[in-house]
Amino acid sequence: MKHIYTVTGMTCNGCRTFVEKKLNAMDAVLEATVDLETSEAVIESQEHIATEALQAALGDHYIISLPGEDNSKKNLAESKNKKGKGTGMFYCPMQCEGEKTYNAPGDCPVCGMDLVEEVSLVQNSETTYTCTMHPEIIKDEFGLCPICGMELVPAEVEESEEIKTYKKLFHKFWISVVFTVPIFLIAMSDMVPNNPIYHILDLNYWNYIQFLLSIPVVFYANWVFFKRAYKSVLTWNLNMFTLIGIGSGVAWLFSVFGILFPDLFPAQFKTATGTVHVYFEAATVILTLVMLGQLLEAKAHSKTNSAVKELLKLAPNKAVKVVNGKEEIISIDKIVVGNILRVKPGDRIPVDGVIVEGESSVDESMITGEPIPVTKTKNDLVKAGTINGKQSFLMKAEKVGADTLLSQIIVMVNNASRSKAPIQKLADKISGYFVPVVVIISIITFFVWKIFGPEPSYVYALVNAIAVLIIACPCALGLATPMSVMVGVGKGAKAGVLIKNAEALEKLNKINVVIIDKTGTITEGKPSVETVAEVSEGFNHKKVLQYIISLNTLSEHPIAEATVKYGKEQNEVGLKVSNFTSVTGKGVSGFIESKKVVLGNDQLMRDSGVTISNKLKEEIVAYQKLGKTVPMLAVEGNLMGYVVISDKIKETSKRAIAQLHEKGLKVIMLTGDNEETAKAVASELKLEEFRAEVLPEDKLKEVERLQNEGAVVAMAGDGINDAPALAKSDVGIAMGTGTDVAIESASITLVKGDLHGIVKAHNLSVETMKNIKQNLFFALFYNSLGIPIAAGVLFPFFGLLLSPMLAAVAMSFSSVSVIANALRLRKINIE
């Protein structure tokens, strides 16, 4: 028996391997293969295996079910996992395991860093409302306070994990400071002539006091670093905390043994009074400074996803629902598809929908990046989060919750932020060898100073070996790429450039050819009928239009929609069509009143054996030279008429193409339109290269041809016919005004749907890659310079040594510096 099961919860290849291994370990299973992409498991067995048995083998981490089986357990598990104001989904900011996510807060099992919670727009269905004046009033729905009449507001929900983590670090940092400062002052008092504190107690007692003060610092405030270090050694995922744990741990343990068993130590480690030199101040200051670095890093990291947080603020928490002419205020999560909503002046539009009554200007800058308000009238689409102008209108809800454009933007930004750019492979490769190499350098440093260093050589050896461990920072290297990607993707989202993954962001920097479609990409994609002409006495104007709209009613092409709309305006009614056929890139055909009818371009006419007179050809070509599209109508092999379609070139197209040329990029226009129309459009846009009468498969072949010649190709399109070429190109760019298929096939989506978005996307890619390279250079330069200095290479020439405490300062601020540099991307101009 062979069955296909759906497996949910897998996020990486490690998950796939785990599931496959667990299933194959079952006695009743002959063979199990698991596919991560489709989230499916194919299980071969001699007898049926109950789903419950398969679930028991996988545990609670993954949910296995037959297609169509009730997934209530999965949904329940997901709802239980949600915490705070986020999604309940956590990820490592350094992307140690790629796009893998976790269901609970904690530490990354690879690098040890705090996991970060992803934020979401999806509202909690259990939102409650309260009155600011009367907090005892709690309601499940939005409304007015029954006591004072004030509007109820959403009750405060549990804090996000991000805020909790920051507060926890803040608390532990100040505990660490309180106990570390006196230890530091006691240790530094040795620098004061005739040390006054020795008149109060002997040095040995002060060492014990330092020991007692250090216990809360080590075992409470910073114990998490040692836990991470231990776990990293146990799993052999060596990281920054491995080095911190070894360095500060050695200093602290050495000091403890020094005060408890002083006789075990040689004279080199002892003071003039016979006590052993202790390094409690080094251990505690190092740990406190590392905690400060973690605190600053958490603060800075919260700003890297600020773009998503700002998008979250766009969604209102209430809406005005209209039922039978009466208005009622409802919570945003109570809106369902089909509801009629009133949007008042200045209000944010609650969900995606269409205007059914009224008109207004709408500020869409937060979605498209364009500052000029757009006039919206009846039947126009409006998007959630955009701001209504000075007039009121009624709208019908069409997409709610996670289906709105705003929600999809946030999901795309979150997913892209977690994806890895190819350039990160270099950092990952270096990081894999980094910690073991640093430990070896530290050991070498110890023995070199022991053998060749001045007296007390053991002391110099120990201090410099610890400094090497502390100053090394694999964290800065690991954060170099992800932080820039996160900020860059967020910056793009605010400018109307949606990036599906980091690979696309990097590849866009390398493109040298841009292929663009005509209809809907260069032009508005809103064709309109200029004229309908009859060319045979057997068919009058009315009959030609009637046949055209009859065929086009069954077609989804924008030109077809334009003719149908025109027919309705002329009060024409279509006829019954049988055996309808759509010929991709050419036109449509069918039978009307038992006659074979063909409607399309020159190619379709030739294929159908339709003869066109020279005079008629000249008439049609004259329109085409003006950039018009002219579909022709033939009945029973005879040309009966044609329709002239115009599609206005977008205002931004000419400027955008000029800017792409200035960047040294070759721009090629591909269109299914005829040669004359294509030539007219290319001439107006000053395009040197174009291909006309191109079929979808020809677009794909053109992309492949250019790639075979060594070109890095970006393809921009908006229709179903563009999808194969979008998927094949190095970077597929979809117009947000286009079809879902095109958007799904592309790796970048331009919300506003104009070519200037390509310019913005390319500028963003160039700036982001520059920022990543700066971060990588800084991280590599810092470690290449810092480790030798900590090892003492300057001592023979200048007599300079680096204290482990200064090494801790440098290490803590190196990561913060990388994040700070990434945050600069928020200020760049990509227009």
Q: Could you list the active site residues?
A: 517
Tokens coding 370: 């364009």
- Note the Cα 645 to chain centre separation in Å: 40
Q: How far apart are CA 451 and CA 460, in angstroms?
A: 11
User: Measured between alpha carbons, how far is 692 from 671 in angstroms, rounded to an integer?
Assistant: 5
Neighbours of 585 (CB within 10 A): 20
Q: Which two tokens stand for residue 815?
A: 């990561």
| Cα–Cα distance measured from residue 123 to residue 335, given in angstroms and rounded to the nearest whole number | 12
Tell me how crowded residue 277 is: count the other CB atoms within 10 A of its CB: 18
Contact 414, 378 (CB under 8 A): no
- Got the DSSP string for 239-305? -HHHHHHHHHHHHHHHHHHHHH-GGGS-GGGB-TTSPBP--HHHHHHHHHHHHHHHHHHHHHHHHHT
Q: Which residues pair with residue 291 across a beta bridge?
A: none
| 406-442 CB burial, b ≥16 within 10 A, e <16 | bbbbbbbbbbbbbbbbebbeebbebbeebbeebbebb
Structural contact between residues 446 and 469, judged by C-beta atoms closer than 8 angstroms: no
Instruction: Answer for the pair 408, 369: CB distance below 8 angstroms, yes or no.
Output: no
Long-range contact list for 448-453, CB < 8 A, 24+ apart? 448/791, 449/792, 453/792
CB-facing half-sphere around the CA of 441: CA atoms within 13 A:
25
Neighbouring residues of 781: CB distance < 8 A, sequence distance ≥ 6: none
- Count CB-CB contacts under 10 A for residue 508: 26
H, E, C per residue of 570-626: CCCCCCCEEEEEEECCCEEEEEECCEEEEEECHHHHHHCCCCCCHHHHHHHHHHHCC
Distances (CA, A) of 311 to 301, 491, 716, 793: 17, 11, 26, 51
Helices (H) and strands (E) in the chain, counts: 27, 31
Q: What is the DSSP letter of 309?
A: H
DSSP H or E segment with residue 362 = strand 360-363
DSSP single-letter state for residue 440: H
Q: At residue 348, what are phi and psi to the nearest 5 degrees?
A: -80, 140
How many Cα atoms within 13 Å fall on the side-chain side of residue 296? 17
> What tokens appear for 353 in the block?
């929908």
First-last CA distance in the chain? 59
Cis before 804 (ω within 30): no
